[in-house]
Amino acid sequence: MDVSLASWLVIAVALALANLPFLNESVFGFVPLPGAKPGSDTQERPHTKHFVVRLLELFVLYFVVGGLAYLLESRIGNVFPQTWEFYAITACVFVVFAFPGFVLRYLRR
């Protein structure tokens, strides 16, 4: 795999996974949360994820994308050691990638 293709693949996967917590009500996109019990008068709509669950999901997905990037980098050639600055910058970029999903979920009415 070409270095350029691997880079674009990581960016595309990061963009998709950063928005995943905000675009659906399932955990990690495929684990459904339990809904309201039939006959219950307190809640008639399906259970929605809390914001904290979405943040934890975003945190885990950041490491999934990091693992994919590490795997692709190791298959291409040498894996370069990274310091805390690299992880701080990539975490901020991942949060910026999540902004469209956040806007659709919480700011758009």
Q: Is residue 106 part of a domain?
A: no
Q: Give the total number of structural domains in the chain.
A: 1
| pTM reported for the whole predicted model | 0.82
The SS3 assignment for 99 reads helix
Q: How far apart are CA 2 and CA 90, in angstroms?
A: 21
Half-sphere exposure of 47 (CA within 13 A, CB side): 14
> Long-range contact list for 68-72, CB < 8 A, 24+ apart?
68/10, 68/13, 69/10, 72/1, 72/6, 72/9, 72/10
Q: Is residue 98 part of a domain?
A: no
- Give tens-digit pLDDT for 85-107: 999 999 999 999 999 999 998 88
- Full residue range of the structural domain in which residue 70 is found: 1-33+46-83
- Give tens-digit pLDDT for 25-37: 888 877 776 764 5
Can you give the length of the chain in residues? 109
